[in-house]
Amino acid sequence: MGKPKVGIYGLTGCAGDQLNIINCEDELLKIFDIFEIESFVMASRAKNENVELDVAFVEGSVSTEKDLEHLMEIRKKSKILVAIGHCAVFGGVQSMFMGKEPWIERYKKVYGKENAVTLTPPLEPKPLAAYVKVDAVLPGCPIEKEPFLKLAGKLAHGIVPKVPDFPVCAECKWKENECLLLKGQLCLGPLTNSGCGAICPSMNIPCIGCWGPIAKENWESEALLLLEKGYKPDEIVKRFAIFGGTERAELLKNFLESHQKQESGK
Amino acid sequence: MRVFKLKRDNFIPFMKGLGKFGELWGPVKKGDHHVYAQASPEQFDLKAIRTIVPAKKFFLPKKSTILKFKNNEWTEHFDVKKRVIFGLHPCDIHALNIYHKFYTRLYPDPYYLKNREATLIVGLSCLPDEHCFCNLTDTETVNEGFDLFLTDLEDRFLVWIGSPKGDEVLKLVKDLIEETTQEDIDEYVAWRKKRRSMFQVSLDLEGMPEILTFNYDSPIWEEMGDACLSCGTCTMVCPTCTCFDIEDEYDIRTDEMDRQRFWYSCVFREYSMVAGGHNFREARSERLKLWYTHKLVGFMSEYGSPACVGCGRCVVSCPVDINVLTVAKALLKEKPDAFWARMASLKNMEVEHA
């Protein structure tokens, strides 16, 4: 097996995920050793886009038509497409209002008019999977060095990695932390993908969910628990929405509203 | 079992003397809780009731490399350290005895065995808090599974020898210990009486294996499943939970593939998923039922006793109050004071309203 041909790309986002790859300073030579890097614009102007890729890493959300075009091209020429970072995997904070109101209303609010001049026609920000098949994901805001290196190691050996299917709480217990939720804090650990090593709770900062919602999480229960602990529905919905995607936030909002009606009807 | 006396003033030098065996680990304060940490004996908190994570972490580390592959060759990887682990209470030692059975009986686990061999276990007596229920699980005293055990009689300790290793190690501190007197024995008997009177939980836990079997289809599993966050905390903090998962990780720095073993949990969704994507326990309620029936029924038939030692860790750790006590109470038709039960009655009310 030759070296896998790799491209590293960014759509709309803060570019922090690509930056964190460059930040793997001590391992950069190794990364360039195990992969044939064909395109990584943040690191080098030299690039070759006319080649089939074994692996494409893509960060950022699809927020413009140009993004979408670019993503389609990447998908077409890549065997394995890996979404890296929260924006690519879940849509990022820019998608927290997705579907809440007609998108053009928000657009007008920001740009003052409907047909503002932009470099490329904008779209409602969405994760990659809204448009193309995504073969593997590495969440995080931004991605972390160690999980990225592990992912790279697996891909170099032809293994398509998967995200761990358990929440931050497990890693938090491995760190032997006190449970912040039990201490009454608005911690989203139970609803959030692990992999970060429970960095925030280990510093006594509740999890805000930047690794994105875990599959089939039990947000109903956590929301009711937080209500019981004295949090207002608004606070809960806001915290959920930042990294949880609007769809979930909307469900949660409706759930809490109907719950409150029930309570006041008693 | 031989027993000696250790004056309290001699405790620090005694522990330091044992430190010649290996690294000293004991209960140290972390926030409002305790953890087993490597520390000097001055830092040990002898009043610690339960650590966040139990002593199983020394024998099945939370995450460890068990094999290394390089250039198509593999080697077993051991990271064994000689340690003195101080401060295990009777429940903790009972739990280790269960661990021992599990990891040595059918498939002796070399990693477990090496860690166990390298460890000196120094138990410490305790006085129960409101969450302790080892009096109901028959684990409030312990006769085996430790090398030394200290009973804290305030101005002095009784030092029990539990193994040839303990006997051997005691030679390191022989100048610090004395023969016991009749007064010591009297004090010990009085202390036991006092301790026994301090337990606050009363519940028919003995009947659990039968009651759980009868209640296999009880609606309470659904109720708990509705509230369970599947966070895995119960299994991480349970001193008798043995499950792990294995993953190969390629380290690009060293060109080595590490086979990692890490704590895993039967309450995680993928635990019961098999090739092809079928999941035998897709529902949270099914996974909880597995945990409780394994712990309190399955273990009974396999090892002769249930795998709950009454340490109370699940009681203080579950954010939604699913624990051995509330489950037992619910099955015994006593109303548990628990978030999951409140959530269930709320839901039932909504159904009635509708």
This model of the complex carries an ipTM of 0.93
Nearest-by-Cβ selection for B339 from A166, A167, A228: A228
Tens-place pLDDT, residues B299-317: 888 888 899 999 999 999 9
Tens-place pLDDT, residues A76-123: 999 999 999 999 999 998 888 766 677 788 888 888 888 877 788 888
Assess whether pLDDT exceeds 90 at residue A258.
no
What are the residue ranges spanned by the domains of chain B?
3-55+79-197, 208-244+273-353
List chain B residues with CB under 8 Å of A169.
229, 231-233
Q: Where are the alpha helices (DSSP H) in B145-200?
A: 164-170, 182-197
Geometric angle at alpha carbon A10, from A7 and A16, rounded to 5°: 110
Assess whether pLDDT exceeds 70 at residue B140.
yes
Smallest CA-to-CA distance from B240 within B206, B263, B207 is with B263
* A237 or A173, greater pLDDT: A173
**Closest CA in chain A for residue B236:** A173
Query: CATH second-level architecture of A5-156?
Result: 3-Layer(aba) Sandwich (3.40)
Geometric angle at alpha carbon B53, from B232 and B162, rounded to 5°: 135
Alpha-carbon radius of gyration of chain A: 20
- Contacts with B240 (C-beta within 8 Å, 6 or more apart), sequence order: B56, B95, B98, B99, B295, B299, B307, B308, B309
Classify B310 in phi/psi space as left (phi over 0), alpha (psi -120 to 50) or beta: left
- Mapping DSSP to helix (H, G, I), strand (E, B) and coil, where does residue A182 land? coil
- Averaged over B236-243, what is the pLDDT? 97
Q: Which residue has the tokens 């606070």?
A: A235
The C-alpha atoms of residue A68 and residue A123 are separated, in whole angstroms, by 9
Distance from CA of B282 to the nearest CA of A (A): 10
* A247 or A140, greater pLDDT: A140
CB contact under 8 A, B350 and A215: no
Assess whether pLDDT exceeds 70 at residue B354.
no
- Mapping DSSP to helix (H, G, I), strand (E, B) and coil, where does residue B187 land? helix
Smallest CA-to-CA distance from B118 within B205, B23, B201, B209 is with B23
- Averaged over A178-183, what is the pLDDT? 97
Instruction: List the structure tokens of B134.
Output: 């080892």
**Closest CA in chain A for residue B350:** A262
Tens-place pLDDT, residues A195-234: 999 999 999 999 999 999 998 889 999 999 999 999 999 8
- What crossing angle do the helices spanning B284-293 and B220-227 adopt, rounded to 10°? 110
* 3-state DSSP of B53-72: CCHHHHCCCCEEEEEEEECC
What pLDDT is stored for residue A265 in this prediction? 67
B277 touches chain A (CB under 8 A): no
Instruction: List the structure tokens of A148.
Output: 């990225």
- Confidence category of residue B69, pLDDT binned at 50, 70, 90: very high
CB contact under 8 A, A225 and B319: yes
Distance from CA of A60 to the nearest CA of B (A): 26
The C-alpha atoms of residue A42 and residue A86 are separated, in whole angstroms, by 19
Specify the range with the lowest mean pLDDT, choosing from A27-41, A79-93, A252-266: A252-266
Domain with CATH 3.40.50.700 in chain A: 5-156
What pLDDT is stored for residue A99 in this prediction? 66
Strands of B177-179's sheet, edge to edge? B33-38, B23-30, B83-88, B119-124, B148-152, B156-161, B3-7, B177-179
What pLDDT is stored for residue A246 in this prediction? 65
Distance from CA of B321 to the nearest CA of A (A): 10
Assess whether pLDDT exceeds 80 at residue B139.
yes
- Confidence category of residue A263, pLDDT binned at 50, 70, 90: confident
The C-alpha atoms of residue B35 and residue B51 are separated, in whole angstroms, by 5
Distance from CA of A6 to the nearest CA of B (A): 16
A171 touches chain B (CB under 8 A): no
CB contact under 8 A, B265 and A166: yes
Task: Give B 99-138 residues with CB within 8 A of chain A.
Answer: none
List chain B residues with CB under 8 Å of A31.
252
B65 touches chain A (CB under 8 A): no
Nearest-by-Cβ selection for B32 from A178, A191, A221: A178
- Averaged over B157-182, what is the pLDDT? 96
**Closest CA in chain A for residue B321:** A182
CB contact under 8 A, B236 and A224: no
Which residue, among B229, B256, B270, would best test binding to A if mutated, counting the most A CBs under 10 Å from its CB? B229
- Averaged over A132-154, what is the pLDDT? 94
Strand-pair partners of A83: A58, A137
Q: Which residue has the tokens 């830092």?
A: B43
* A135 or A94, greater pLDDT: A135
Smallest CA-to-CA distance from A249 within A263, A230, A233 is with A233
Specify the range with the lowest mean pLDDT, choosing from A69-78, A89-98, B225-234: A89-98
CB contact under 8 A, B233 and A173: yes
Nearest-by-Cβ selection for A154 from B33, B52, B250: B250
The C-alpha atoms of residue B99 and residue B194 are separated, in whole angstroms, by 30
Task: Give A 190-249 residues with CB within 8 A of chain B.
Answer: 190-191, 215-218, 220-222, 224-225, 228
What pLDDT is stored for residue B44 in this prediction? 98
Which residue, among A172, A174, A180, A183, would best test binding to B if mutated, counting the most B CBs under 10 Å from its CB? A174
Strands of B73-76's sheet, edge to edge? B73-76, B63-70, B256-263, B244-251
- Averaged over A181-202, what is the pLDDT? 95
Q: With beta carbons less than 8 A apart as the criterion, state whether B82 and B22 touch.
A: yes
Nearest-by-Cβ selection for A179 from B253, B319, B350: B319
Tell me: cis bond preceding B239? Omega within 30 of 0 counts. Answer: no
The C-alpha atoms of residue B331 and residue B247 are separated, in whole angstroms, by 38
